[in-house]
Amino acid sequence: MIALSDINKSYRVGELVLPVLRGITLKVAAGEFVAIMGPSGSGKTTLLNIIGCLDSVDAGSYSLAGEVVDRASDDDLARIRNRHIGFVFQLFNLIPRISALRNVELPMIYSDVSPAERRQRALHALQRMAIADRADHAPSQLSGGQQQRVAIARALVNTPELLVADEPTGSLDSGTGREIMALFGELNRAGTTIVMVTHEEEIAAFASRIIRLRDGIIATDEGG
């Protein structure tokens, strides 16, 4: 599913070049549930962004579902994200002025699905997340947990093979966080590959494999 080989990535801050990832080699098979952990500055979010095709690499190669993506153009990356990857963020990132339903429809707008099918698939995704009764609510009318359910519905609506989550429970209380992790577990059992960044051991425990980063390299890789 995911094959990273000797990935290097650095950020330029003025004159300084800060290496963030220094030779990451990693394989994730289809159907795995991986948690990436590490102290802040260890490069875990950068690694997740690269896996999610949101960011480019400086050196090394990356293939996702058999497709080499490290040299793909911006528009090709947009298509890959649209078809193959769903995103869940710490701050949900719902568009505030439109309803939950329309938020879930968003990825399908960029894959030219007809309005009727869009609506039907969005409703179905909301049902799966048990939040269909809030379809017409604006995000501001929903609790954090409800917003994250809408965001997961949006991530799933194009039936991606890979779900990428950056601190998905970071803005939720622990009870709600566990509910969201239970949903992740269900999705994973249904076949979706999940890669998740977290700094909470309790949340990481829901994953079947835990990768710990330190200073841009893989320190430990347990489970799997």
Partner 1 sequence: MLIFFVDRFSLALYALKDNLRRTLLSILGIAIGIAAVMAVGTISKGGNYLIFSELETFGLNSVWVFRDRGDKDPHRRVREGSGIDNDDYQALTGGCCPAVQRISAVVHASFSKRAVIQAINRYSNAQVQGVDVTLTSIANDVVIQGRPFRARDITSRRAVAILGPTAAEDLFGAASAIGREFRIGNRKFTVIGVLEAKSRDFLASIGSSGGQDANNRILIPYTILQQMLGHKQINFLHAEAVTQTQADSAAQQLIAVLKRHNGHNYSYKSETMATYITTTERILNGVAMIGIIAASVSLLVGGMGIMNIMSTSVLERTREIGLRKAVGARRSDILLQFLLEAVVISTLGGLIGLTLGTIASIVLAEVTGFPLAPSLTVIVIALVVSVAVGIISGYLPARRAARLHPVEALRYE
- Binding-site ranges for partner 1 (CB under 8 A): 49, 52, 54-55, 74-75, 78-79, 81-83, 87, 89, 93, 95, 97-98, 106-107, 109-112, 114-115, 154, 158
Least Å distance, CB 156 to partner 1, is: 12
> Residue 56 CB: number of other CB atoms within 10 A?
15
Which amino acid would we find at residue 121? Answer: R
Write down the least CB distance from residue 175 to partner 1, Å: 27
Give strand pairing partners of 5.
61
Nearer to partner 1, 84 or 128 (CB): 84
Please state the closest distance from residue 97 (CB atom) to partner 1, in A. 5
Q: Kindly report the CA angle at 40 between 192 and 89, in degrees rounded to 5?
A: 35
Rounded to 5 degrees, φ, ψ at 103 are -60, -40
Which tokens is 210 given? 């835990």
CA distance 28 to 2: 5
Q: What is the nearest approach in angstroms of partner 1 to the Cβ of residue 85?
A: 9
Shortest Å, Cβ 118 to partner 1: 9
CB of 208 to partner 1, least distance (A): 25
**Nearer CB in complex with partner 1: 111/120:** 111
For residue 124, the tally of other CB atoms under 10 A from its CB is 14
Sign of CA dihedral 193, 149, 40, 82: positive
CB of 106 to partner 1, least distance (A): 6
The CA-atom distances, in angstroms, between 34 and each of 102, 114, 136, 195, 203 are 30, 34, 33, 5, 11
Q: Per 3-state DSSP, what percentage of the chain is helix, strand, and coil (rounded to 5)? A: 35, 30, 35
Task: Give the Cα separation of 1 and 43 in Å (integer).
Answer: 21
